[in-house]
Amino acid sequence: MVRARGLVVLTVAIMVAVACGNTGGGGGGGSKGTIKIGSDFPVCTTGGQSTSNGVKFAVDQKNAAGGVEGFNIAYQSFDDCRQGSYNADAGVANVRQMLDDSAFMGMIGPYNSAVAKAEIPIAAPKNFVMISPANTNPCLTKDIASCSTAYHPQDLRAGNPNNYWRVVTTDDYQGPAMADYMYKQANIKTVAILDDSTVFGVGISGAFEDEFKKLGGTVVKHQEYKKDQQGTQFQSLLQSMHTASALYVGGTDDQNICIPRAQMKQIGWTAPFGGGDGIETTDCIDQASGNETGILATSAGADATQVPGAKDTIAKFRQAFTGANDFGGYTMQAYDAANILMTAIGNAIKANGGSMPTRKQVRDAMAKITTFQGVIGNYGFDQNGDTTLKIVSIYEVKTGLSDTDVKASTGVCGKKLANACFVWKTQFDFAKSS
């Protein structure tokens, strides 16, 4: 019985701790009050964490500069990880929590398209603005035939005005960009495709496959794996694909998508290796260790290092966040997304005569933003909420770079090999061609 009492005490202690935690908080204080913005990322992954850093950096900068129209901005990062990976259910719970607190005027996120699919229907009726820095699945906004699911994006919003915007262009540009590059510029006629069975991986590799076939190329084999089933054992999968003259991977580094690159060497397969923005990361270079050179990656958006002004922001960010994994492929996108949201909130405050706006006013203000000068480029939004900035950049890993070259690169370098970095190669502007 003594033991049982111990347990009760423990439980009560935990509950008290939580209760205290909930009532505490709410530090800081602007002159007029506090407006909250949230984010919903899988913070347990490096990708989610570095993206969250971008939002935090933007909010800190804004508050240091006096906040938005006299209001202080409080940022709260929600985590949609459950037991190690993103979870749509957790994302929904986070959005519900934000909706309950009337101080929340909008959110940045989510990170994963599958989560967005679950969250939009809940946020839309409440006019809750969502700006995703990383969702690239076209089916969230566009009514196109290749979305194999049966619904239309307007159904997701259930007749409510659009509440979802994104600052990255979609897979149906990223995949084709790499297909064009491989087929036309690198003169590759046969490829094999490997995807990681996530919404992102399946989507982007499907878009690549369609475009590559349309150009006249041959897809030798399209294999799929799941991280938790495969471990790091890819040789047999690669064996079935090794007759192709290049490998395209659809997936992200947190699903181990770059380990096959290292193992290509183990099975004696030398061929180009390309993928989407999910592999333009530090972890990817580390996973490919021993065979890093020549990894090709696309990235949605213009290269920050190619945009004047961005370098400055990145340098400041690096001063504030010094960890090796603090900067990632979507950090600057998240930074821009947060600034866009805060601009919309500012416009809404102005429209409301300088006092606290409603969510609907913020949504309406957001819908009116047609152009925004961000770090990555000059954004515009179409009526679907998609960005009109349709630049896709292509990067390549170069090894043995000098220190100045490393600084001039994207800054995405290996942890182990600090002089192996992604270097900008070329870019495709789909806004001009279409």
Q: How far is the CB of 299 from other proteins (least distance, A)?
A: 19
Is 116 a binding residue for other proteins by CB under 8 A? The answer is no
Q: How far is the CB of 83 from other proteins (least distance, A)?
A: 5
Query: 32 or 82, CB closer to other proteins?
Result: 82
Q: How far is the CB of 372 from other proteins (least distance, A)?
A: 29
Question: 350-409: which residues touch other proteins (CB under 8 A)?
Answer: none
Provide the H-helix boundaries in 147-246: 153-156, 171-180, 199-215, 227-230, 235-239
Which DSSP string corresponds to 70-116?
Answer: TBEEEEEEEE-EETTEE-HHHHHHHHHHHHHSTTEEEEE--SSHHHH
Q: Tell me which of 210, 215, 272, 321 binds other proteins, using CB under 8 A.
A: 321
Largest CA distance in the chain: 76
**Structure token pair of residue 89:** 């259910």
Is 433 a binding residue for other proteins by CB under 8 A? The answer is no
Residue type, 347: N
Q: What are the φ/ψ torsions at residue 241 (nearest 5 degrees)? A: -115, -5
Q: Bridge partners of 247? A: 192, 273
Is 30 a binding residue for other proteins by CB under 8 A? The answer is no
Asked if 111 and 321 touch (Cβ cutoff 8 Å), the reply is no
Q: Tell me which of 9, 33, 66, 155 binds other proteins, using CB under 8 A.
A: 155
Query: 116 or 345, CB closer to other proteins?
Result: 116
Dist CA 43 CA 280 (whole Å): 18
Is 44 a binding residue for other proteins by CB under 8 A? The answer is yes
Question: 71-110: which residues touch other proteins (CB under 8 A)?
Answer: 76-77, 79, 81-84, 87-90, 92-93, 96-97, 99-102
Q: How far is the CB of 356 from other proteins (least distance, A)?
A: 16
SS3 221: strand
- From residue 195 to residue 234, the character string flagging contacts with other proteins as x (rule: CB under 8 A) and all else as - is --xxx--x--------------------xxxx-xxxxxx-
Residue among 314, 344, 318, 334 at smallest CA distance from 41: 334
Q: Tell me which of 9, 151, 355, 378 binds other proteins, using CB under 8 A.
A: 151
Question: 254-283: which residues touch other proteins (CB under 8 A)?
Answer: 254, 256, 259, 262-263, 266-268, 283
Query: 46 or 347, CB closer to other proteins?
Result: 46
Q: Tell me which of 105, 139, 177, 192 binds other proteins, using CB under 8 A.
A: 139
Query: 264 or 302, CB closer to other proteins?
Result: 264
Query: 81 or 186, CB closer to other proteins?
Result: 81
Is 7 a binding residue for other proteins by CB under 8 A? The answer is yes
Query: 199 or 340, CB closer to other proteins?
Result: 199
Q: Tell me which of 218, 240, 270, 373 binds other proteins, using CB under 8 A.
A: 240
Q: Tell me which of 9, 12, 13, 26 binds other proteins, using CB under 8 A.
A: 26
Residue among 337, 374, 332, 368 at smallest CA distance from 106: 337
Dist CA 307 CA 48 (whole Å): 24
Dist CA 300 CA 277 (whole Å): 7
How many CA atoms, within 13 angstroms, populate the side-chain half-sphere of residue 39? 32
Q: What are the φ/ψ torsions at residue 113 (nearest 5 degrees)? A: -60, -35
Q: How far is the CB of 259 from other proteins (least distance, A)?
A: 5
Q: How far is the CB of 181 from other proteins (least distance, A)?
A: 26
Q: Between the CA of residue 267 and those of 132, 260, 263, what are the distances in Å?
A: 39, 10, 6
Q: Tell me which of 163, 287, 333, 347 binds other proteins, using CB under 8 A.
A: 287
Q: Tell me which of 286, 303, 336, 386 binds other proteins, using CB under 8 A.
A: 286
Dist CA 99 CA 334 (whole Å): 21
Q: Between the CA of residue 425 and those of 113, 269, 295, 409, what are the distances in Å?
A: 27, 24, 11, 10
Tell me the window of 193-201, 271-279, 355-363, 392-400 that interacts with other proteins (CB under 8 A). Answer: 193-201
Residue type, 204: I
Is 147 a binding residue for other proteins by CB under 8 A? The answer is yes
Look-up: residue for tokens 């960010």? 317
Q: How far is the CB of 362 from other proteins (least distance, A)?
A: 18
Query: 47 or 176, CB closer to other proteins?
Result: 47
- Residues in the interface with other proteins (CB under 8 A) total 91
Contacts of 274 (CB under 8 A, 6+ apart): 178, 181, 182, 246, 247, 248, 249, 295, 296, 297, 298
Dist CA 434 CA 282 (whole Å): 33
Is 235 a binding residue for other proteins by CB under 8 A? The answer is yes
Q: Tell me which of 9, 143, 416, 426 binds other proteins, using CB under 8 A.
A: 416
Q: Tell me which of 70, 103, 122, 429 binds other proteins, using CB under 8 A.
A: 122
